Structure 1
Amino acid sequence: MIPLGNETTSYQAAAQNRHEAFSLPNTQQFLLHSEAKERPYRILVATPTQEAPPLGFPVIYLLDANALFGTIVEAMRVQGRRSEKTGVYPAIIVGIGYPTDEPFDDSRYYDFTMPTSDEVLQTLPVRNKDHVWPKLGGAEDFRAFIEQELKPRIERDYPIDRNAQALFGHSLGGLFVLQTLLTKPHSFQSYVAGSPSIHWNKELLRQQEEQFPSLLQQNTSKIGLLITVGELEGSHPSGMNSNAREFYDRFSLLSKEELHVVYHEFEGEGHVSVLPALVSRMLRFVLRR
């Protein structure tokens, strides 16, 4: 029966007062267990509304998805409407997060770092002298999870282009991105390291750099590397900006036929405030045509 008179007013009032959960369009999530960990990973996936091209969509694998997935999805959705002007083209976004509603989880310390000596830990800046670090040193296990468990699942369920894959991480995630580039450069075609925490494994990175040129020559496609920092991070006691700049300076000397490397410092931005600007720059870099 169609409501009339006061019934219509009551119906409209009830609809206006009803609150419903909101979700980002064209996104899904699922839990994926790893053989190396007891807790599962929370995987979030955003897909374009367009029909997939013959080779499939580019795919961006995102670390710290609890904190960054929504930002990237909305940036893609808004900027992708005018790709010819923004340089942001349709892609699938795969966020790797944790089963929590918090933006960050202590598991990231284990997943994003190589084994770290007590001597190095004593040099890391902390908020108080009694600080106790979470478990560290699981980067190899995490890399194996991405390659052997996550990627096959994504390739099975979504139309992706295996020759257009990117890895994006910030802070400790940026460190993991650089370690992956140095040890397994063939895993992705684009790498984005935002404010990388090079000071955690600086000596190890320098050792891995020695073998990188020979690994790079074995790669069949050109690799893109974007390194960014925020201007205000220059005062951080870790030397984050100088470490990132030195890394870029060394890598910019490598073959430009095999490696396209870009460095950018965001004016007036700090370690956290830099994230929205970094996301936009990352999308344009990864999806450039």
Structure 2
Amino acid sequence: MKVTEQPITLPRSTVYNMGSTHTNRDYRISVSVPEGEAPSEGYPVLYVLDGNALFPLCAESARVLKGRGIRGFGPLVVVGIGYLTEGNFPADRFYELTPPTDRASLPPRPGGEEWPPTGGGDNFLRFIEEELKPAIEEAYPIDRSKQALFGHSLGGLFTLNTMFTKSDLFQTYIAGSPSIWWSNRCVLEAEKAFTANRTVEPDPTPVRLLMTVGEEEASHPNRMLHNAEEMYQRLKQLEENGLSVDFHVFPGEGHLSVLPGLIGRAIRFALHK
């Protein structure tokens, strides 16, 4: 029997290389579009951080779940924001996904390695807001009232920080196992400002947040589960101020094994189901 080797491709998916004037870096932007005609209002869209690792999982999950007609799942454009380098979680992400950082506050890395460049999250957010989103909205029929941002770990930290500082950029935020511990939990200052603004605004724009974590992360030295649960307890007090927040702990799962279950829940949440 003759065996011919062929690469695997993701159906209805396209990859672009896109440079940013804000970060002076290039990104691998992957886009998955559903089959069939777009709804009259356009497609909901899910922007996925760490696209090297998470775009294939999210794109195929969205396609399969929609194709099977499972309740709660419909057509969804998935946009992965990744890197030109190889690897699921390349070191570049430490720059894009972290706020301005006091590097002296960071714990030693495993193996004694130095931390990669950090603290470029503000510039990365400008890239998403001013360069990437307009390009996606011009190229594809997008429902601008149903846009979601999804990140895990440092991506979850970036997702929270985006909601706290630019909450009108997306309607839905999904933060999986967020690295709230980063730089002495500096994201809590942004949370405090977000809370203060929400409580004084007469009619704040509605925002939805899903936070998740794996049960086994309770033993993580950076308090992954406890930090997330404590933040949820604070944020749920803002439900009368336009914030709808859900929190879920995945039984028996750790920081990475949580991803398959998280992705299905994230897609359903992005679709407002």
TM-score, scaled to structure 1: 0.89
Match of 1:6 in 2: none
- Check the 8 A contact 2:28/2:83 in 1, yes or no: yes
Task: Specify the SS of the correspondent of 2:156.
Answer: helix
Alignment of 1:231 onto 2:210 = no
Match of 1:52 in 2: 38
Please, what is the CA RMSD of the aligned residues?
1.7
Alignment of 1:89 onto 2:71 = no
Q: Distance in 2 between matches of 1:23 and 1:251?
A: 41
Q: Cα offset for 1:203? A: 4.2
Q: Distance in 2 between matches of 1:142 and 1:240?
A: 24
Match of 1:169 in 2: 151
- Check the 8 A contact 1:60/1:167 in 2, yes or no: yes
Match of 1:103 in 2: 88
- Decide which of 21, 38, 56 is 1:70's aligned counterpart: 56
Match of 2:170 in 1: 188
Q: Cα offset for 1:214? A: 5.1
Match of 1:7 in 2: none
- Check the 8 A contact 2:181/2:227 in 1, yes or no: yes
Q: Distance in 2 between matches of 1:223 and 1:180?
A: 12
Q: Cα offset for 1:118? A: 3.4
Task: Specify the SS of the correspondent of 1:278.
Answer: helix
Match of 1:251 in 2: 235
Alignment of 1:127 onto 2:100 = no
Match of 1:10 in 2: none
Task: Specify the SS of the correspondent of 1:75.
Answer: helix
Q: Cα offset for 1:234? A: 0.8
Compared with structure 1, are the counterparts of its residues 95 and 105 closer, same or farther at alpha carbon in structure 2 (3 Å cutoff)? Answer: same
Match of 2:254 in 1: 270
Number of residue pairs matched? 271
Alignment of 1:41 onto 2:18 = no
Compared with structure 1, are the counterparts of its residues 43 and 194 closer, same or farther at alpha carbon in structure 2 (3 Å cutoff)? Answer: same
- Check the 8 A contact 1:185/1:219 in 2, yes or no: no
- Decide which of 136, 157, 164 is 2:118's aligned counterpart: 136
Match of 2:195 in 1: 213
Task: Specify the SS of the correspondent of 2:39.
Answer: coil
- Check the 8 A contact 1:125/1:237 in 2, yes or no: no
Task: Specify the SS of the correspondent of 1:229.
Answer: strand
Identity %: 45
Q: Distance in 1 between matches of 2:210 and 2:26?
A: 30
Deviations 1:54-101 (A, max 9, x none): 110000000001001111111111111244x43111110000000023
Q: Distance in 2 between matches of 1:93 and 1:232?
A: 29
Task: Specify the SS of the correspondent of 1:166.
Answer: strand
> Could you tell me which amino acid in structure 2 is paired with residue 126 of structure 1?
R
Q: Structure 1 unaligned runs (5+)?
A: 1-12
> Could you tell me which amino acid in structure 1 is paired with residue 54 of structure 2?
L
Match of 1:25 in 2: 11
> Could you tell me which amino acid in structure 1 is paired with residue 51 of structure 2?
A
Q: Distance in 2 between matches of 1:196 and 1:90?
A: 27
Match of 2:100 in 1: 115
Q: Distance in 2 between matches of 1:271 and 1:86?
A: 28
- Check the 8 A contact 2:213/2:250 in 1, yes or no: yes
TM-score, scaled to structure 2: 0.94
Q: Distance in 2 between matches of 1:136 and 1:197?
A: 14
Q: Distance in 2 between matches of 1:218 and 1:188?
A: 20
> Could you tell me which amino acid in structure 2 is paired with residue 231 of structure 1?
E
Q: Cα offset for 1:105? A: 1.2
Q: Cα offset for 1:209? A: 2.0
Task: Specify the SS of the correspondent of 1:90.
Answer: coil
Q: Structure 2 unaligned runs (5+)?
A: none
Match of 1:159 in 2: 141
Q: Distance in 1 between matches of 2:22 and 2:118?
A: 14
Deviations 1:167-196 (A, max 9, x none): 000000000000000000000000000000
Q: Distance in 2 between matches of 1:87 and 1:69?
A: 20
